[in-house]
Chains A and B, each alone.
Chain A
């Protein structure tokens, strides 16, 4: 029995542009939580700053809307303090691949047990349409009438280079698949990266639902080597593969590798009390 999806709604209505992919991404996130029977009080979402982050006060879970680019380290800190919570970092392509790229790489290699949802709308939308590293190379953008001089970079290459515990790609027009991918991310023990190709009719108007439909291919969730995953993950002019691209079930999480926490049953939040330091003090001579 899933939890009533309305439990995850706050009193406010979303404010995105008509046709914006964020509506269904947020809906899928709520559906995933409800289908997994994770209550609002068992969830902690770290929201970034951007159009996606404007959903923060529209969702009724524990949440922290922090700073631009910092949703990932914030969620790592949240998670390590109490691993009983389902912790999610929710951020845009600008936040993830520009302001906070180091955080993404280090979170994957640290393998915190969190789920990172990237709203990849191929631009800085909230600041009215600047180029990101996923923006098309030919496309004129805010302040760049002749398009960006920098090269485009493929998120799948960046993510796979750090050997993630789970990497999946979804499309904001396919709620059912997004829900399944987010569920897989939450259930996976380790750092799960869910990249959502997000419709942004305002600043990425070329990439219409039709444009996506012509290119999207759903792939199977099978064992792939990193090499195979790279091939499957690469976006070409003709095709964008969606589904679970890569899993590495061998990786231990950061916390599991902490020698001094191995036999501890409690969480850090349960352990705040006065500690007698006399023995430690006595070790000084």
Chain B
């Protein structure tokens, strides 16, 4: 059981309700000085089925979810069977529906684990307080708030803020319900959780909570992205949502295209014309984009795609997490051409790497794929500030021929303009003057020129970052969301170091091989079935890595998954 955090889980009927409540609670807990990390589990359907919203809180920065929670609030009778076993021993189960019927197994489990069950007739409390039946959720939340030992004014402030647009009547009724829940007679002092809850920070709290996709969208705006072309697919869609909802402030052109094929072709066209355009998708949509990645490769047109991963082949498990498209990204597109794959792990890296992606795409005139995962894309992170933005680098310069052969492999590329020489970008193999060619020497020369950019880029990319004490014998290796529970485990005192890859391809291997040759025990930790990052690193280094911890059940790597690794 991790010591420095406390975990709350809400379980209910799938739909907007539980999400809204989760965000409200996240904001309230954050507002009193905690760092939170919130994670959603929900099915791929609009109504019916159960969903959960889990909030981990700590006094220090955290970015991972616990496997089990201290308190489980059940808002729909079905949800109890799904989530009961995620409670800790001695935990509290709070529920508000008489229809909750525990199976014999559940009753035994509750007894064995010394779980306190509290039934609260929240609807009656809400109605008696002058509210409506749906305000029973607020009754439950404020009762929970009392169990946590928090001050009711802090919750009241957030409720006022969240319902501000709904008018005074709604706010007042909600506050009446809030007070009624807080003062409900079902409360007993022995339930108080404050001894389990980490101390809150005393200083003024100006931190914000935002998702990984919010960060990518903000980074894109900062980097001068002026067009977004999209097609809905979880977990990429919220980038579209954020850029769409802010389009009046930013002036960004938003287009919902007829398919991912179209979205990425439009992005390619807009980039060729000289603006910055973005598209984002998930696995299936990314497959459709691959012909265009190849086209960007040979035409040497900058292109940036966000690939937000979910688990599974085909349609897979649409609303669940994993990182099973690393290999697809690295190998994407037919033929041989240079590309770059970057891997986001949190808000900071999402904000910076999308900016980096545009700089690399433009300087090297290549496609760049920015990987993220559902666990990053849709989870709420606590952050104080955003990092300093990167300077925009476009790498454009005038020349005679569009595909001039140079030492770096980088040819002149100038933004189309009425007073400049016109040129042809062509996906036929071509010579320096964009003429289609079938000549053996020309084919080889142009292929070599293009691939030279891979070498140039590789020499300019950073090695992966080592976190933790470099003197410990065991080093975990990973990318993307793996970083978050591993760093949290290090902060819990686990005796490991962690080598984190943000730049996956082209692949730097020096830092890793130094660890290998110094005799460290290397363990790959990945949220997929076959160790996709490990395969890429083996291909680049020639070294076979022996130990892998792989998880591919749609769930993220929980903090306990790391703490349980035998070291």
Task: Please list the residues of chain A having a beta carbon within 8 angstroms of any beta carbon in chain B.
Answer: 10-12, 39-44, 46, 49, 54, 56-57, 60-67, 70, 73-82, 84-85, 102-103, 105-106, 254-255, 258-261, 264, 267-269, 271-277, 279-281, 284-285
Contact = CB atoms under 8 A, between A and B. Distances in A.
A43 B275 contact: no
Contacts of A62: 416, 422-424
Contacts of A76: 262, 265-266, 269
Contacts of A255: 253
B416 A82 contact: yes
Chain B facing A: main interface SS: mixed
A26 to B, nearest CB: 14
Nearest to B296: A66
Given A273-B392, A284-B209, A80 B425 contact: no
B426 A82 contact: no
B422 A60 contact: yes
A41 B258 contact: no
B273 A269 contact: yes
Given A67-B291, A73-B261, A274 B222 contact: yes
Given A66-B295, A77-B227, A274-B224, 11 more contacts: A11-B433, A63-B426, A77-B265, A77-B273, A82-B416, A258-B254, A260-B248, A260-B252, A268-B275, A280-B246, A284-B210
Given A271-B275, A275-B222, A80 B418 contact: no
B386 to A, nearest CB: 6
Given A106-B262, A275-B250, A81 B224 contact: no
B14 interface: no
B227 A57 contact: no
A260 B251 contact: yes
B218 A77 contact: no
B500 interface: no
A141 B224 CA distance: 51
Contact of B224 (A74, A106, A271): A271
A246 B253 CA distance: 30
A77 B418 contact: no
A84 B246 CA distance: 26
A85 B416 CA distance: 9
Nearest to A105: B258
B268 interface: yes
B420 A41 contact: yes
A33 B249 CA distance: 38
Contact of B227 (A42, A49, A75, A268): A268
Contacts of A43: 422
A17 B262 CA distance: 32
Nearest to B294: A67
A54 B420 CA distance: 24
A284 B218 CA distance: 11
A109 to B, nearest CB: 9
Contacts of A271: 224, 226, 251, 275
B267 interface: yes
Most chain-B Cβ atoms within 10 A of its Cβ — which of A40, A103, A276? A103
Contact of A81 (B275, B417, B436): B275
Nearest to B420: A41
Nearest to A44: B416
A268 B172 CA distance: 46
B161 to A, nearest CB: 7
B105 interface: no
A102 B422 CA distance: 30
Given A39-B418, A84-B418, A285-B27, A66 B427 contact: yes
A225 B524 CA distance: 67
A257 to B, nearest CB: 11
